[in-house]
Amino acid sequence: ISVLIPTLDRYPYLETLLGQLEKQTLPPHEVIVVDQTEVSRRRTDLAERFTGLNLRWLTRDEPGQCSARNAGIENSRGEWLLFLDDDDEIPEDYCQRMILLAGSMATDSLSGVVYTPGEDPPECWLQSHEPKTCCSSVFPTNTTILRKDFLHKTGGFDLRYDRGQVEDADLGMRLHLSGALMILDEGNCILHHHAPRGGLRAHGARVITRAAAKRSLWKRNLPSAWDFYLALRYFGPEAAREVAALAVLQSFSTGGGGARRALRVFVCLVQLPSTLLSVRKARRAGERLALQGPRIPLVGAGSALGGPPDSKKCLIDAWRR
């Protein structure tokens, strides 16, 4: 297993995760950290602190989540790639459960379940629940293991998402279309902190999460340009219209009792013109991304992951796959 962790300005969270990786019942073959923190704030001591890990530390001065993960893929030596976020927390048997279940089910991709602070615990944390496995409709890059050789069929992460969101959904879609067997393990739970700074927040993306919007009377979790780009690439204009309509409807949703829900509806009615304007702007930006087309580096011998875009022909071939 090669563990790939892109990081940006989140050293306290990263230290916790590296400590948990060091104590795994089945140690990973290597852990590759791709550090994109600004040079003036970049730490150089962590690579030497975790002696129990085969830790490889890469640095990039130009931040971007897709280019960082592509660089990790290019430098990896394991047969399996385990994608984690720098603000994850994992149990001691996480790697062992991942690789044993993936091997026993002969799957190409295996994903776990994410628990976010402030949300109700997922069922897999309840002793009365019998964990299940099923075909996965998600590909979260903060808790997924993947056979590396399957990326030879699909290419790496699309660089159009480099400073945006849903890049994992895009790669998951390409894996599905290429014939990968993708499994979800409900019994393998991790904690994802959604750190308030660093990561995508540094690019102004996913500043308000779905959980944060549900807890607030004022915040809205609205679709980004990349949500529309994803919908247009794989499903067309009708799907983009559905994304917009659902975003407006879901903005009225909140937790709590009847009084709180009524107040949320009132607030969202006042915010409705702003909501419609934001959604329209995001859709237009997504349409521009769709017209530009994907930038998908190839994976394999002689590939240049994380570097300049490949030739137009290679990109078209990767997209078709």
* pLDDT tens, the chain, 321 aa long: 999 999 999 999 999 999 999 999 999 999 999 999 999 999 888 888 998 899 999 999 988 999 999 999 999 999 999 999 999 999 999 999 999 999 999 999 999 998 887 665 555 555 555 668 899 999 999 999 999 998 988 999 999 999 888 999 999 999 999 999 999 998 888 988 877 666 555 555 555 566 666 666 667 778 899 999 999 999 999 999 999 999 888 888 777 778 888 888 888 888 889 889 999 999 999 999 999 999 999 887 545 454 433 434 444 444 444
Q: How confident is the model over 152-209, as pLDDT tens digits? A: 889 999 999 998 889 999 999 999 999 999 999 988 889 888 776 665 555 555 555 6
Which residue, 105, 69, 255, 114, is CA-closest to 181? 105
121 CB-near residues (< 8 Å, 6+ apart): 115
**CA Rg, the chain, in Å?**
20
Dihedral in degrees, nearest 10, Cα atoms 161, 164, 165, 171: 10
pLDDT of residue 206: 57
pLDDT of residue 48: 85
pLDDT of residue 44: 85
pLDDT of residue 186: 87
304 CB-near residues (< 8 Å, 6+ apart): 297, 310
The token pair that represents 298 in the structure block: 């190839």
> Cβ distance 183 to 133 under 8 Å?
yes
DSSP state string for 179-238: T--EEEEEEEEEEE---SSSGGGGGT-S-S-HHHHHH-SS------HHHHHHHHHHT-HH
pLDDT of residue 265: 86
**Taken in order 133, 136, 138, 143, is the CA torsion positive or negative?**
positive
Task: Measure the CA–CA gap between 264 and 43, rounded to whole angstroms.
Answer: 43
> Cβ distance 233 to 202 under 8 Å?
no
